[in-house]
């Protein structure tokens, strides 16, 4: 067993000058044209690419600003901070996502892929900051604030997974009465029944779900809507309905022989494990997939191991089918399992998190990339699968459709005692056939209202199986649409960049600053007594690219990496401990300081220092807050553009006068 921090030496990839250059010609020209330039600076808030890439819509830049100490918590009546920076950052984060401790562990973090810091050296560890804040909130018993009033409106939420819980959370905060219906004994959906506990500790998941229930959300467990209760009853008892049905029916292999009893789906396998029924697997396990679910199946199989001379009634497929539960006393006799994961994609195109792939390989799991299943070979006497025949292939997407071309003559057989299909999932529409669009899903508009069904909304896997964070975002957006519907408002058009954004006006009110709103835009004046006279926000329609930042401001700073416990094949057997350790408080602050605050001032003072006319100045402290740190005296400004060129974040734009 080893603890690694994945330390690697990396050099800056951003170069301000090319070899042989010794001056910035563009800036030189701008300075000498300053006498006749008509453009002066305006302060433009844009959406950073991390937020634009976050399906759950987190205001990532804002909570990183809080963690690093730029945005301060509000003051209480005694003049001291009303809360710690951890709580303030957590509350900003959870405006969009009520599961930071869970998602900080398992989200593949598309926000980090989008991070502009990748152009300098390496992305900010957003996921690790989220992990820390989520754990801190649990350790310190933080709760959500219940709404002051209730609307009297009732909403039924079908499905207690990430989409349903997210929607219930947002609706409850708006004052609506919410009842969650779920066919399982416990809430959580795929977070509980699809992801193993060594990736999402159950006490962590329970704590984050518990906060939502504490808002007054009611539950009806072990209740399958469509079978135990019909839509007529829901329509009669509730003002609106949200479908957050998970895709918890796995897809079997589309090859001959896949009907064998020991050829099972990944969702059935993981549910049996997470229910505690599955305690061992066969000696040879073959998993077909390539996504995160297939990695989870493979690593669970490696930990469970196999038992020699297992009785027929105790074979793993019987536990997976729910016929029996394995005897706990037999666990001590288990041995390591040979686990093979086969994917039609090559390693670089597999959809699983690259880090999880490396962990699986370290645990001794054999990965075969670029191979397609051809046939399940059966024992003619028992009908059980004995091997999986695979062949080399080329796989590519043509539009939304995956096309697989098998290479003749490349077939090989992999012996197997248990074959697990992790090639996709489906929604169970039993009793709800009216909502099936014919493709095993529901159809909805951009506010996630089901087409032709006023008052009925949907989100998550029932629209399109994707990431947990995508389902969380669907639930939040649907909750806004439901709120509009319940208030008899026309459901408006969604923003182009549909995420949570920093609100300057709200921040000024929070800080107790008074200002007069302008009746009309007062662009071009620095004398008007309004709060935001030379400020505009494009956050809802524009994601700022790295090309608009002054990247020369940022030096190389190594990323603070979480420690990961890497196991060998022998160590993995029976080891169900969490592998990922959170960063320390100091490491989290240091990591947040790596954020380049794309599209928002982070108070570096470059514009004040370099302005040759002393036209750019700090806003008086009595009127300043984040986003209102500097302003321009347009009587002094000559339009030299220097403030724009030295602004690291792209917050200063030369647009005034156009």
Same domain, yes or no: 387 and 323: yes
Assign 23 a pLDDT band (cuts: 50, 70, 90): very low
Interval 89-102: pLDDT, tens: 999 999 999 999 99
290: in domain: yes
Same domain, yes or no: 200 and 311: no
Task: Return the percentage of the chain with pLDDT > 90, whole number.
Answer: 72
Tell which residue, 647, 559, 556, 558, has the closest CA to residue 605: 647
Does 634 score more than 90 pLDDT? Answer: no
Number of structural domains in the chain: 2
Q: Which of 426, 441, 471 is the last residue of a domain?
A: 426
421: in domain: yes
Determine the pLDDT at residue 7: 44
Which residue range is the domain that position 300 belongs to?
251-426
Does 233 score more than 90 pLDDT? Answer: yes
Q: Which of 375, 401, 426 is the last residue of a domain?
A: 426
Starting at the edge strand found earlier in the chain, the sheet holding 40-45 runs 535-537, 40-45, 652-656
How far apart are the C-alpha atoms of 351 and 108, rounded to whole Å? 10
The lowest-confidence range among 255-269, 531-545, 641-655 is: 531-545
Neighbour tally for 312: CB within 10 Å: 7
Does 592 score more than 90 pLDDT? Answer: yes
Assign 34 a pLDDT band (cuts: 50, 70, 90): very low
Rounding to the nearest 10 degrees, give the CA dihedral for residues 144, 150, 156, 162: -20
Same domain, yes or no: 192 and 231: yes
Same domain, yes or no: 398 and 446: no
Assign 5 a pLDDT band (cuts: 50, 70, 90): very low
Neighbour tally for 149: CB within 10 Å: 6
329: in domain: yes
Does 549 score more than 50 pLDDT? Answer: yes
- Please name the residues in contact with 6: beta carbons below 8 A apart, sequence gap of 6 or more: 561, 564
Same domain, yes or no: 174 and 212: yes
Does 536 score more than 90 pLDDT? Answer: no
Same domain, yes or no: 462 and 420: no
Q: Which of 467, 486, 505 is the last residue of a domain?
A: 486
Assign 516 a pLDDT band (cuts: 50, 70, 90): low
Please state, rounded to an integer, the average pLDDT across all residues of the chain: 89
594: in domain: no
Interval 460-488: pLDDT, tens: 999 988 899 999 999 999 999 999 999 99
pLDDT, average across residues 191-205 = 94
How far apart are the C-alpha atoms of 372 and 370, rounded to whole Å? 7
Strand intervals (E) in 14-153 = 40-45
Assign 532 a pLDDT band (cuts: 50, 70, 90): low
The lowest-confidence range among 247-251, 260-264, 416-420 is: 247-251
- Class of residue 515 by CB neighbours under 10 A (exposed 0-12, middle 13-18, buried 19+): middle
Assign 379 a pLDDT band (cuts: 50, 70, 90): very high
How far apart are the C-alpha atoms of 82 and 330, rounded to whole Å? 55
Same domain, yes or no: 281 and 417: yes
- Please name the residues in contact with 272: beta carbons below 8 A apart, sequence gap of 6 or more: 278, 319, 320, 322
Determine the pLDDT at residue 624: 85
Determine the pLDDT at residue 445: 94
Q: Which two tokens stand for residue 107?
A: 């989200």
Higher pLDDT, 20 or 301: 301
Query: Can you give the CATH number for the domain in which 464 is found?
Result: 3.50.50.60
Same domain, yes or no: 368 and 302: yes
Same domain, yes or no: 287 and 397: yes
Task: Return the percentage of the chain with pLDDT > 70, whole number.
Answer: 89
Rounding to the nearest 10 degrees, give the CA dihedral for residues 167, 169, 170, 172: 120
pLDDT, average across residues 268-296 = 93
Beta bridge partners of 158: 181, 243
Does 116 score more than 60 pLDDT? Answer: yes
> Could you tell me the sign of the dihedral formed by the alpha carbons of 436, 440, 443, 448, in that order?
positive
pLDDT, average across residues 9-32 = 50
The lowest-confidence range among 261-270, 364-373, 621-630 is: 621-630
Does 13 score more than 70 pLDDT? Answer: no
211: in domain: yes
Same domain, yes or no: 390 and 241: no
> Could you tell me the sign of the dihedral formed by the alpha carbons of 7, 9, 13, 14, in that order?
positive
Interval 294-333: pLDDT, tens: 999 999 999 999 887 777 788 888 888 877 666 644 544 6
**In a 3-state reduction of DSSP, which class is residue 549?**
coil
Q: Whats the size of the chain, residue-wise?
A: 658
- Contact criterion met (CB below 8 Å) for 202 and 161: no
Same domain, yes or no: 355 and 270: yes
349: in domain: yes
Determine the pLDDT at residue 79: 86
Same domain, yes or no: 310 and 433: no
**In a 3-state reduction of DSSP, which class is residue 449?**
strand
496: in domain: no
Assign 22 a pLDDT band (cuts: 50, 70, 90): very low
Strand intervals (E) in 290-370 = 338-343, 366-369
417: in domain: yes
Does 529 score more than 80 pLDDT? Answer: no
Assign 56 a pLDDT band (cuts: 50, 70, 90): very high
Interval 130-147: pLDDT, tens: 999 999 999 999 999 999
Assign 249 a pLDDT band (cuts: 50, 70, 90): confident
């Amino acid at each position: 067993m080893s603890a690694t921090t994945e330390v690697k030496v990396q050099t800056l990839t951003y170069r301000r000058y090319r070899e042989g250059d010794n001056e910035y010609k563009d800036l030189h020209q701008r300075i000498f044209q300053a006498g006749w330039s008509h453009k002066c600076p305006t302060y433009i808030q844009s959406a950073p690419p991390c937020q634009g890439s976050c399906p759950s819509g987190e205001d990532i830049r804002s909570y990183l600003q809080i963690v690093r100490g730029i945005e301060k918590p509000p003051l209480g009546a005694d003049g001291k901070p009303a809360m710690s920076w951890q709580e303030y950052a957590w509350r900003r984060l959870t405006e969009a996502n009520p599961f930071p401790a869970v998602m900080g562990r398992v989200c593949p973090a598309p926000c980090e892929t989008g991070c502009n810091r990748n152009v300098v050296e390496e992305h900010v560890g957003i996921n690790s900051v989220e992990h820390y804040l989520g754990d801190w909130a649990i350790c310190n018993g933080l709760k959500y604030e219940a709404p002051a009033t209730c609307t009297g409106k009732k909403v039924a939420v079908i499905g207690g997974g990430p989409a349903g819980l997210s929607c219930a959370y947002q609706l409850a905060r708006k004052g609506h009465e919410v009842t969650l219906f779920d066919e399982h004994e416990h809430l959580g959906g795929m977070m509980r029944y699809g992801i193993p506990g060594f990736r999402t500790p159950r006490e962590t998941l329970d704590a984050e779900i518990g906060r939502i229930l504490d808002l007054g959300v009611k539950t009806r467990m072990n209740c399958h809507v469509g079978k135990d209760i019909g839509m007529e009853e829901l329509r009669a008892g509730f003002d609106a309905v949200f479908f957050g049905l998970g895709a918890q029916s796995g897809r079997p292999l589309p090859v001959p022989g896949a009907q064998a009893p020991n050829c099972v789906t990944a969702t059935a396998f993981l549910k049996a494990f997470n229910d505690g029924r599955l305690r061992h697997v066969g000696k040879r396990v073959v998993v077909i997939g390539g996504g995160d679910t297939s990695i989870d199946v493979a690593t669970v199989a490696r930990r469970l191991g196999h038992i020699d001379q297992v009785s027929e009634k105790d074979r793993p497929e019987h536990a997976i089918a729910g016929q029996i539960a394995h005897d706990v006393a037999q666990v001590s006799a288990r041995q390591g399992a040979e686990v093979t994961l086969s994917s039609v994609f090559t390693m670089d195109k597999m959809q699983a998190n690259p880090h999880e792939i490396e962990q699986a390989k370290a645990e001794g799991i054999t990965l075969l990339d670029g191979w397609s299943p051809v046939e399940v070979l059966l024992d003619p006497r028992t009908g059980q699968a004995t091997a999986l025949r695979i062949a080399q292939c080329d796989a590519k997407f043509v539009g939304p459709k995956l096309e697989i071309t098998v290479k003749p003559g490349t077939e090989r057989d992999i012996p197997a005692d248990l074959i697990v299909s992790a090639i996709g999932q489906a929604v169970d529409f039993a009793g709800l056939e009216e909502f099936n669009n014919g493709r095993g899903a529901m159809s909805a508009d951009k506010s996630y209202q089901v087409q032709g069904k006023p008052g009925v909304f949907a989100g998550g896997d029932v629209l399109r199986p994707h990431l947990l964070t995508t389902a969380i975002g669907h639930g939040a957006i649907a909750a806004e649409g439901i709120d509009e519907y319940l208030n008899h408002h026309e459901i408006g058009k969604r923003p182009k960049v549909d995420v949570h954004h920093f609100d300057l006006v709200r921040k000024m009110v929070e800080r107790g600053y008074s200002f007069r709103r302008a009746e009309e835009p007062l662009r071009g004046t620095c004398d008007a007594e309004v709060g935001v006279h030379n400020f505009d926000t494009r956050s809802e329609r524009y994601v700022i690219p790295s090309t608009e930042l002054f990247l020369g401001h940022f030096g190389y700073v190594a990323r603070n990496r979480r420690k990961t416990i890497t196991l060998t094949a022998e160590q993995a057997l029976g080891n169900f401990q969490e592998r990922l350790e959170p960063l320390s408080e100091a490491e989290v602050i240091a990591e947040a300081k790596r954020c380049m605050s794309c599209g928002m001032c982070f108070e570096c003072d470059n514009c004040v220092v370099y302005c040759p006319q002393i036209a750019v100045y700090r806003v008086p402290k009595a009127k300043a807050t984040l986003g209102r740190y500097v302003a321009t005296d347009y009587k002094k400004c000559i339009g030299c553009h220097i403030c724009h060129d030295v602004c690291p974040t792209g917050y200063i734009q030369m647009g005034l006068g156009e």
